[in-house]
């Protein structure tokens, strides 16, 4: 009898582990699919801010975050109203959109994200609507990888926003977990640096 109980416990643990593994794999697959631009035309992009899976969301939103379209309200694409690029280059990317979106990524040109990188974005949770201004606080985390293609630029990036301020109140959002940000872009027209433009005008 005791041997059967032990066997049942082992089987239960194996099933529980298997179910957890399936959830993690499904979650990771959804994250990758959201930022994929396979087959998309030049000029396409996607930026996705992620709420922590078990924080800042109602319990009934968790299944959709795992199995479905996670945080679509924290995503901008080429179809987003007012989406406009400023500077586009291997060391700097500027993007803005309606509702207060404002992204500036600065890199060393070797894939490392500089701590001057920032993102302003709207977010809703707990029945309230906010606008956060956040910085990427650790250059050892994340990446900004670009690939030139003639005069165009492809790339992808990952940020970790850990220092945020509520734009309206001016107060720091202490106690909130970090916000991962993933994004990719395809076929963006590269900007001409000011000094290069001057040389061309001579």
Domain layout of the chain by residue ranges: 35-201
Q: How confident is the model at residue 96 (pLDDT cuts 50, 70, 90)?
A: very high
Sign of CA dihedral 60, 66, 69, 70: positive
| Whole-number pLDDT of residue 86 | 95
pLDDT tens by residue, 174-201: 778 889 999 999 999 999 775 444 444 4
Cβ contacts of 48 within 8 Å, gap of 6 or more: 31, 34, 35, 70, 71, 74, 75, 181, 182, 183
Cβ contacts of 22 within 8 Å, gap of 6 or more: none
Total-model pTM: 0.76
pLDDT tens by residue, 43-60: 999 999 988 776 767 766
* Average confidence score pLDDT of the chain: 80
């Amino acid at each position: 009898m005791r041997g059967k109980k032990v066997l049942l416990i082992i089987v239960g643990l194996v099933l529980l582990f298997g179910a957890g593994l399936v959830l993690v794999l499904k979650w990771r697959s959804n994250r990758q699919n959201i930022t994929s631009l396979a087959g998309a035309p030049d000029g396409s992009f996607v930026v996705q801010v992620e709420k922590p899976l078990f924080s800042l969301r109602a319990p009934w939103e968790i299944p959709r975050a795992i199995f479905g379209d996670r945080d679509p309200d924290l995503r901008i694409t080429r179809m987003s109203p007012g989406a406009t690029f400023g500077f586009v280059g291997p060391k700097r990317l500027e993007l803005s959109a309606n509702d207060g979106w404002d992204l500036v990524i600065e890199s060393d040109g070797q894939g490392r994200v500089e701590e001057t990188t920032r993102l302003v974005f709207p977010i809703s949770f707990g029945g309230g609507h906010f606008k956060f201004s956040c910085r990427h606080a650790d250059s050892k985390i994340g990446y900004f990888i670009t690939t030139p293609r003639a005069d165009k630029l492809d790339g992808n990036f990952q940020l970790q926003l850990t220092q945020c301020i509520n734009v309206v109140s001016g107060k720091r959002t202490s106690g909130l977990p970090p916000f991962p940000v993933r994004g990719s872009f395809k076929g963006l027209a590269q900007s001409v640096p000011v000094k290069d433009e001057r040389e061309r005008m001579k």
